[in-house]
Amino acid sequence: MSALGRVVRSGVGRRRVQTVVIALATMMAVASAVVAGSLMVATNAPFDRAFSRQNGAHLTAEFDPAKVSTAQLTATGTLDGVTGTAGPYPSTTIHGVDDQGRQTPAMTLVGRSDPDSDVERLDLKTGRWPTKTGEIALSESFEGPAFTLGSTLKASDADNSPTLTIVGFALSVGKTADAWATPAQVRALGSKDTPVTSQMLYRFDSAGTTSQIAADRKKLAAAVPSGALLGSQSYLDTKRAADQNAAPTIPFLIAFGVLGIVMSVIIVGSVISGAVGTSLRRIGILKAIGFTPREVVRAYIAQALLPAGAGIALGVVLGNLMALPLLEDTETVYGTVSLTVAWWVDVLVAAVALLVVGVAALVPALRAGRLRTVEAIAVGRAPRTGRGQWAHRAAGRLPLPRAVTYGLASPFAHPVRTLAMLLAVAFGTVAATFALGLTSSLNEVAAAGDPESRNDVSVFAGGPTIGKGQHVPAPNTPTPAPADPAKVSAAIKAQPGTALYYGVAQEEATVPGVSGTVRVTLYDGDSSSGSYAMISGHWITGPGQVIVSSHFLETTGTEIGDTVRVTAGEDTATLRIVGEAFDTSDDTLEIHADIADFSAVEPTEFRVDVKEGVSPTEYAEALTAAVEPLGADAFANSLSEQDNLLIVLNAMAALLTLMLISVAGLGVLNSVVLDTRERVHDLGVCKALGMTPRQTVSLVLASVAGIGIFGGLVGVPAGFALHGFVLPEMAEAAGTGLPPSVLEVYDALELVLLGLAGVGIAVLGALLPAGWAAKARTATALRTE
């Protein structure tokens, strides 16, 4: 073992470049695998895991306390199929006002004396639980600059409304409430407009489908007096939204994971194969002095596993460090807590990496073991006689300098090594092409999901806007009455610099076949400049038309060309579906129609485009002076920031692509080093005949240029095809289709540049050995055999 150990240590020490390449390649492959694996675990059914940890409620039910007693509600826990209950908790709705005088959206406030319970055990993210009157805990989604620990919140805008101090932020996976206080506090906040109800949380033995939840709800309604059950919320609605966030990342991570695994196999196999190919004489000497074929195989596998082991250890550490920031963003996206890299991910990745390295090294190591002693010593480092001669003859006919044609023909002397280098460059180009397309598509998704930001200026006719950074009123300042839309429209039309504008209104509507309400956005005028991207069909062109989302079509079983009856307020209209919009705003069913179909509705917002050369900010300031006396407000739009999910995906794409390209470059570096060392005597002869250092560099770089070009020609179409496959899979997982603008993100110039990226990867990998070859002294090279 000591003799074998000396051989292994000597081989690792002598082949420093191969040792470093194996260590770095495995380090980057393992780091990317840890990042991808940890994020895949974090995004694999995050709602289900968090819901199970909290023992979440399958159904949240609101009861009228005037019609059902506490004892009757408690008795519902014994119904057939009910496996757990919590409550009844007093519940009401508040319209809070923060300490800056800004009114919050309506909040469901529930009275609980403790975050822990048999059903829906809340996770206290920061702070503590409210224990006395005047304290409140908010949902963790509210935590931010507006609300921090110690800040205050008035229960309403009334002068005598109590002030509540925020003492904590909690997470309810099932979204059963927006805020919590003591039961006494909640009862004290009840009023005629916001009466106190009784909230019950239920778990059932069968609650996996909508029909099962509906059957469970029917049991509850039958067990209490008629009319006592005011409403209910199924956990499936919340689960669907969470799963739609998580599901799109899985195909993306699988694609990069497969690329990383394949590239690591190629690089490690190429390195060990090259080590065997350049050590034939050494292998023959080892056998001549008594080493058995099995010992030779073990020696060469060990020479791969030693640097690989160091690279794997460093890769696990690096992967954990890189994964933590991404996991923090993932925690924000999915509403989970305490996300860390699972220990078994580190262990599994390390074990698989060792196995991959071992298998990749086994084939060339077996070749070393099978070599006959005399043949190995006689052949030495020399390539097989006559190999690649036809390539030299063909290249010699090209009208190029001899150093360049010599380099272009060189790869044909080692076809296996050249193939490994070609695959490394091709996969690096695939990664770059796929990542560029993915990033462009995700940015297009962000723009398509926020069409109103494409207009230059927004005007709100419902009084000064809160939270837009402009004209925030002082506390207790009464909100002005809504402005007259006709007067606001006239002011916009008369304002110098107006190019075009249209009005917008939103109403709650009902559609037969859809439970609950849908949100209908109505447009007054030509709204094409702010239209949603269309998956199919066309945008609204006049009355009688409606645009719907993929979710709406799926829910209602309708398709383009069908008609739906929409009731908004006192108006009912039968509208024809003319388009399927790419609407990613939230999980709410939303439709879009012309305001002319609903005569009782008036615009509450106007979106304006200014003329070319007009500053939107200056225009908005001038328009504000004109519409503010009317009770309206105007401000310039800016492109909305990408949401957290897109930031996570963009960050992962950039990180994993950089790693894969680096691994490809290392593969080229190793192959060129081996090739240059094998030909060091030939280079000495060329230098003795007058080859300059610059020509030597040209020779070495030309030897990889053809590989880079061919790798780019193979990699760009493959990356293009991978993008075309993965994006629809991500969209299908999210429950939507994709408009052409999201898929057709490549242009001809980008594809050409991506093709040249293969050349760039090959040249960058060859620069270092090219410089070494150029600096080598002629006499030294001639003496080297």
Whole-number Å distance between alpha carbons of 406 and 49: 61
- Structural domain for 434, as ranges: 383-450+645-785
Residue 461 lies in a domain: yes
Q: Give the pLDDT band of residue 469 (cuts 50, 70, 90).
A: very low
Q: Is the pLDDT of residue 463 over 50?
A: no
Is the domain of 29 the same as that of 158?
Answer: no
Residue 216 lies in a domain: no
Is the domain of 497 the same as that of 624?
Answer: yes
pLDDT at 63: 92
List Cβ neighbours of 630 (8 Å cut-off, separation of 6 or more).
Answer: 461, 483, 484, 487, 488, 491
Q: Is the pLDDT of residue 475 over 50?
A: no
The mean pLDDT value for 316-335 works out to 67
Q: Which tens digits make up the pLDDT trace of 669-702?
A: 777 777 777 676 677 777 777 788 888 888 888 8
pLDDT at 65: 92
Residue 556 lies in a domain: yes
Q: Which tens digits make up the pLDDT trace of 523-556?
A: 998 888 888 888 889 999 889 999 998 878 877 7
pLDDT at 477: 37
The mean pLDDT value for 598-622 works out to 87
Q: Which tens digits make up the pLDDT trace of 326-339?
A: 666 555 544 554 45
Whole-number Å distance between alpha carbons of 296 and 309: 20
Higher pLDDT: 641 or 139? It is 139
Closest CA to 580 of 620, 603, 551: 551
Q: Is the pLDDT of residue 255 over 70?
A: no
Query: b/e string for 460-477 if b means 16 or more Cβ within 10 A?
Result: bbbbbbbeeeeeeeeeee
User: Can you give the pTM of this predicted structure?
Assistant: 0.62
CB 512 within 8 A of CB 542: no
pLDDT at 466: 31
Is the domain of 45 the same as that of 74?
Answer: no
Whole-number Å distance between alpha carbons of 168 and 182: 13
Whole-number Å distance between alpha carbons of 658 and 707: 20
The mean pLDDT value for 1-21 works out to 70
Is the domain of 134 the same as that of 255?
Answer: no
Is the domain of 520 the same as that of 611?
Answer: yes
CB 330 within 8 A of CB 43: yes
Q: For the chain, what is the domain count? A: 4
Task: Please state, as a whole number, how many other Cβ atoms lie within 10 Å of the Cβ of residue 715.
Answer: 29
Residue 536 lies in a domain: yes
Q: Is the pLDDT of residue 464 over 50?
A: no
Q: Give the pLDDT band of residue 274 (cuts 50, 70, 90).
A: low
Is the domain of 622 the same as that of 483?
Answer: yes
Is the domain of 629 the same as that of 748?
Answer: no
Whole-number Å distance between alpha carbons of 414 and 426: 18
Q: Is the pLDDT of residue 587 over 60?
A: no
Residue 213 lies in a domain: no
Of 350, 382, 414, the last residue of a domain is: 382
Is the domain of 200 the same as that of 251?
Answer: no
Q: Is the pLDDT of residue 403 over 60?
A: yes
Q: Tell me the two tokens of residue 344.
A: 């078994």
Which regions of 550-669 does DSSP assign to beta strands (E)? 563-568, 571-581, 590-594, 605-610, 633-636
Is the domain of 82 the same as that of 183?
Answer: yes
The mean pLDDT value for 204-215 works out to 87
The percentage of residues in the chain with a pLDDT greater than 90, rounded to a whole number, is: 13
Is the domain of 606 the same as that of 744?
Answer: no
The mean pLDDT value for 104-130 works out to 87
Residue 477 lies in a domain: yes
Whole-number Å distance between alpha carbons of 333 and 648: 9
Q: For residues 511, 512, 514 and 518, what is the CA-based torsion angle, rounded to 10 degrees? A: 10
Biggest CA–CA distance in the chain, Å, is 105
Query: b/e string for 764-783 if b means 16 or more Cβ within 10 A?
Result: bbbbebbebbbebeeeebee
Q: Give the pLDDT band of residue 585 (cuts 50, 70, 90).
A: low
Higher pLDDT: 267 or 580? It is 580
pLDDT at 472: 35
Higher pLDDT: 784 or 134? It is 134
Centroid of chain to Cα 176? 27
Residues belonging to the chain: 785
Of 328, 358, 382, the last residue of a domain is: 382
List Cβ neighbours of 581 (8 Å cut-off, separation of 6 or more).
Answer: 532, 533, 534, 535, 547, 548, 549, 592
Is the domain of 266 the same as that of 144?
Answer: no
Whole-number Å distance between alpha carbons of 46 and 40: 10
Is the domain of 388 the same as that of 376?
Answer: no
pLDDT at 91: 92
Q: Is the pLDDT of residue 383 over 90?
A: no
Residue 227 lies in a domain: no
